[in-house]
Structure 1
Amino acid sequence: MDGDWLFFGTLGDKADSEKARAEAKKVPNFGKLKAEQEGHVVMVQGSAWNNAGGPLAARIVLDDVTKALAS
């Protein structure tokens, strides 16, 4: 799967996501992803994207997407 955008997160905070991305960059094929090549990898709070539910989590996800696509 090679999408235009990659929203990259862990169950920790965004700093944990940055650490995980640094590890992912060590995998040879990660650099071949279209989103990585075009600078479209966005660090997110993974718990809001994957574990949490309800309107507050939905707002976080929508805000992340809106900010990414507006820039």
Structure 2
Amino acid sequence: MLLDHKGVSYTVIDVDSAPELRQLMRDRANGSHTVPQIFIGNTHVGGCDDLFALERQGQLDTLLAETSQAIN
């Protein structure tokens, strides 16, 4: 909901429906096996609590802006 509120587009990868993707995401998330695992660009944010922590710290908008600039 936070990303929706910010108008950020994102892709959901359902690792429950595609077990082969679960290991790929675990590797990409440095071994973390909980879901969701959130990435902004190539930056591994962590889980939902970590995303909200970035927002509380005022760092989420900065990370989103930096990623947006790197893509454009």
TM over 0.5: no
- TM normalised by structure 2 equals 0.31
Higher relative contact order (CA 8 A, sep 6+): 1
Q: Select the structure that is richer in strand.
A: 1
